[in-house]
Structure 1
Amino acid sequence: MTRPGPTVEADDLVPSGLTFAEVSLRLSHVYPVETSPWGVRTFRFDILVDGTVTGTISLRPAVTHLLTHLSGQVGFSVEPGFRGRGLAAKAVRALLPAARAHGLDALWFTTTPDNAASRRTLEKLGCALVESAAVPADYVSHGSGEQVKLRYRLELLGKV
């Protein structure tokens, strides 16, 4: 699909029509492996409500230690003026067909113990808290004081 600016190319592993409730996702960027900060091909979507961008969500559809223990296979952010409406959880639900298309049967999420909003979102989704893990000293966020990650897992079988 083409928009003003760079061309964003999807493939059969990014289904069209990713929606849940009032949230729809629009592919905004594909990071090839060579330039991806996560070392895997990554898909970033705008989270839309009534055509307005309310945040972003990324799918990193691979199983690596970095993704399952430190950064997560999914990352999301909702703009401050749109928080408190459950949009992150709805965006994750909209993203599930893309995760399944990549052969994932579960998704890993990570957050910090002090990120109450993210923890509430993950709990609302039905994610299981697997463990609290130390952030290694050589991981980028450790330098800014992040010392612990909470690891959550969402089973995809039967999830809508």
Structure 2
Amino acid sequence: MLLYDTINLNDQEIYLHLDKTADENKEKGYVPAYYFTIIRNIDGYEVGKCDLRVGHNENTKYGGNIGYEVFEEFRGNRYASKACKLLFLLAKKHDMDKVIITCSPENIASRKTCEYSGAEFIDIVDVPPWHEMYKIGRKRTCQYVVKL
């Protein structure tokens, strides 16, 4: 995977610190990925994690191109949606024309994050039995799309 500089992934509140990258793993159906820590600018606190999975395949159809987690004490500040918007910039560098974000149908906070990020709700779909999410108990997923 051609890696792009991630130094500009910041806004007035947060920046994304690149922790690692992962190459494509065709055997597992993984696309290349970037993994970040979300850091608050004002004090340098780590407020969460996020990642961008570059490209589209059957795995990203259900698991999405973006993952995020905001640590409990920092929730409610829209850090996840701000991180998503920064990840959109990186996705554009990779010539992605859209980004898929998925979440559990009952995860209202994550669904709001998708909406705050500008994602359009597409559908709630069944996760196929071969997918890793299915194997850990997630049988349905909400699909959101952001056109870049």
TM superposition score normalised by structure 1: 0.83
The residue number in structure 2 matching 1:60 is: 53
Of 82, 85, 109, the residue aligned with 1:117 is 109
SS of match in other structure, 1:108: strand
Flag the 1:45–1:38 CA change in 2: closer, same or farther, 3 A: farther
Three-state SS of the structure 1 residue aligned to 2:7 is coil
What is the 5 A alignment of 1:16-31?
A: 16-31=7-22
Find the counterpart in structure 1 of residue 76 from structure 2: 84
Contact 1:14–1:101 under 8 Å retained in 2: no
User: Deviation of residue 14 (structure 1)?
Assistant: 3.5
- Asked if the contact 2:88–2:99 (Cα under 8 Å) also holds between the matched residues in 1, the reply is no
Asked if the contact 2:32/2:54 (under 8 Å) is kept, the reply is yes
Instruction: Encode CA deviations 1:56-105: one digit per residue, 9 max, x unaligned.
Output: 110111111211x2110010111111001100011111222211110012
SS in structure 1 at match of 2:49: strand
What is the aligned length? 146
Identity of aligned residues (%): 27
Matches within 5 A, 1:30-41: 30-34=21-25, 39-41=30-32
> SS in structure 1 opposite 2:88?
helix
1:146 paired with 2:138, answer yes
C-alpha spacing 1:144/1:15, structure 2 compared with 1 (3 Å): closer
Structure 2 unaligned blocks of 5 or more:
none
Instruction: Tell me: CA distance 1:14–1:40, structure 2 relative to 1, closer, same or farther (3 Å).
Output: farther
Which letter does structure 1 place at the counterpart of 2:10? T
Of residues 70-79 and 130-139 in structure 1, the stretch that sits farther from structure 2 once superposed is 130-139
* 8 A contact 2:66–2:101 mirrored in 1: yes
Q: Are 1:135 and 2:130 counterparts?
A: no
Aligned positions of 1:1-20 closer than 5 A = 12-20=3-11
What TM-score comes out, normalization by structure 2 length?
0.89
- Ranges in structure 1 where 5+ consecutive residues have no aligned partner: 1-9
Whether the 8 Å contact between 2:33 and 2:51 is mirrored in structure 1 is yes
RMSD: 2.0
Cα deviation digits, residues 86-133 of structure 1 (max 9, x gap): 000111112222111100121101111111110001111121111111
- Asked if the contact 2:17–2:39 (Cα under 8 Å) also holds between the matched residues in 1, the reply is yes
Q: Give the residue type in structure 1 aligned to 2:17.
A: R
Could you tell me which residue of structure 1 aligns to residue 94 of structure 2?
Answer: 102
